[in-house]
Structure 1
Amino acid sequence: MLSLQIIKSMEKLIMLHESLLVISEQKTVAIKEGNMEKLQPLLVKERKHVQALEQMETSRQKEVKAWFEVNNLQGKNETITTMLEMIDDKEQQKVLEDVTIHLTHSVTNLKRQEQLNQALIQQSLQFVELSLDMMNPSITNLNYGNTKETESIKRSVFDSKA
């Protein structure tokens, strides 16, 4: 019975991850457009989803721990993988395995999308830095003469006075 609660928690985690993936894809569009007004509410929405994910994950971990306690397996590594090895009911085992695989795919897809967003932001920052560098005149361009000659003349004048 407790493993059904874990399955439901994992299904909720899948839903949250998939919803977060949609937000991440919307962020990609906003980043490509350079639209900060569109990006800001997405970041707020994303933060709320992440908080919900953290709460759901904490709940899932407690349920897994409780399952191990109920089945007198406290010394074991309290993970879903270990749980899959210990479940006797083949039907529940199969459902839990499928949900675990689905959750893994959801997390992987979200991670891939966020890596794309990070790369796009990095490219945008590089473009901004390049643009700023092109707009700011270089200090060496401001000096018309050779700086080494100027320094040697200053030194020789200083040396002769000393």
Structure 2
Amino acid sequence: MSVENIYATLEKLERMHKSLLELSFKKTELLKTNNTEALDQMLKDEQAHVAAIDKLEQQRQLLVTEYLGAKGFAPADKMTVADVIKVADNDTDKEKLEKVRNRLLLIIDDLRKQNDLNQKLIFQSLQFVNLTLDMLRPQPGQINYSGNEVRGTNTIAKKTYFDSQA
């Protein structure tokens, strides 16, 4: 068995992660502009990408396990591309695998950073929504629980038809 199948799978993983990274950049812009409809579609696209990446990752794991098994290694929990690089037959295969592995690791690191930024933007949006809701809710000192009137700074008594405790 050669490393070509592993290399091809790693290249597919690299392309899928690049595409997911591009979606993550677009998601950042959608979060900044508060475009919830487009964001909903973006989440569906991301889920499809993640499912495809998961399938490719399973394929990669199988290929690595088969390759290392053919080389006489006992199956282990985590067999990695780094293990394949160590036991590859020639320097050309080792170099090819190492280059694609490093590119993939860089893309995954960029994706992690971008997702952290998106998570922070979402958290800030939620804080803003909660702050706005808190400002709209009546404060406990402004509510008269015993009668039908609400007393505030205005000297004229107002009748309320809204039960804020409901």
**TM-score (normalised: structure 2):** 0.82
RMSD between aligned residues: 1.4
Distance 1:140 1:65, change over 3 A: same
2:20 is the alignment partner of 1:27: no
Moved more, 5-14 or 80-89: 80-89
State the 1:82 CA deviation.
1.8
State the 1:18 CA deviation.
0.3
State the 1:38 CA deviation.
1.2
Aligned-pair identity (%)? 35
Flag as ranges the 4+ runs of structure 1 deviating above 3 A.
none
Q: Which residue of 2 aligns with 1:151?
A: none
Q: Secondary structure at the match of 2:105?
A: helix
Q: In 2, are the aligned partners of 1:2 and 1:63 still within 8 Å (CA)? A: no
Question: C-alpha offsets along residues 5-61 of structure 1, whole Å, 9 cap, x if unaligned?
Answer: 101100000000000011111111111101111111111111110000000000000
Q: Which residue of 2 aligns with 1:155?
A: none
Q: Which residue of 1 aligns with 2:156?
A: none
Q: Which residue of 1 aligns with 2:158?
A: none
Query: Aligned residue pairs: how many?
Result: 144
Distance 1:12 1:75, change over 3 A: closer
Q: Which residue of 2 aligns with 1:6?
A: 6
Q: Which residue of 2 aligns with 1:65?
A: 65
Unaligned ranges ≥5, structure 1: 145-162
- In structure 2, how many angstroms separate the alpha carbons of the residues matched to 1:88 and 1:68? 12
Distance 1:75 1:42, change over 3 A: closer
State the 1:137 CA deviation.
1.2
**TM-score (normalised: structure 1):** 0.84
- In structure 2, how many angstroms separate the alpha carbons of the residues matched to 1:3 and 1:74? 18
Unaligned ranges ≥5, structure 2: 145-150, 152-166
Q: Which amino acid aligns with 2:114?
A: Q
Q: Which amino acid aligns with 2:31?
A: I
State the 1:74 CA deviation.
1.7
State the 1:141 CA deviation.
3.2
- In structure 2, how many angstroms separate the alpha carbons of the residues matched to 1:57 and 1:131? 43
- In structure 2, how many angstroms separate the alpha carbons of the residues matched to 1:105 and 1:118? 20
Q: Which residue of 2 aligns with 1:117?
A: 118
Q: In 1, are the aligned partners of 2:69 and 2:75 still within 8 Å (CA)? A: no
Moved more, 127-136 or 69-78: 69-78
**Greater RCO (Cα-Cα under 8 Å, separation 6 or more):** 1
Q: Which residue of 2 aligns with 1:130?
A: 131
State the 1:62 CA deviation.
0.2
Structure with max Cα Rg? 1
Distance 1:52 1:138, change over 3 A: same
State the 1:69 CA deviation.
1.1
1:54-93 maps to which residues of 2 (within 5 A)? Answer: 54-74=54-74, 78-93=79-94
Q: Which amino acid aligns with 2:112?
A: K
Q: Which residue of 2 aligns with 1:94?
A: 95
Higher helix share: 1
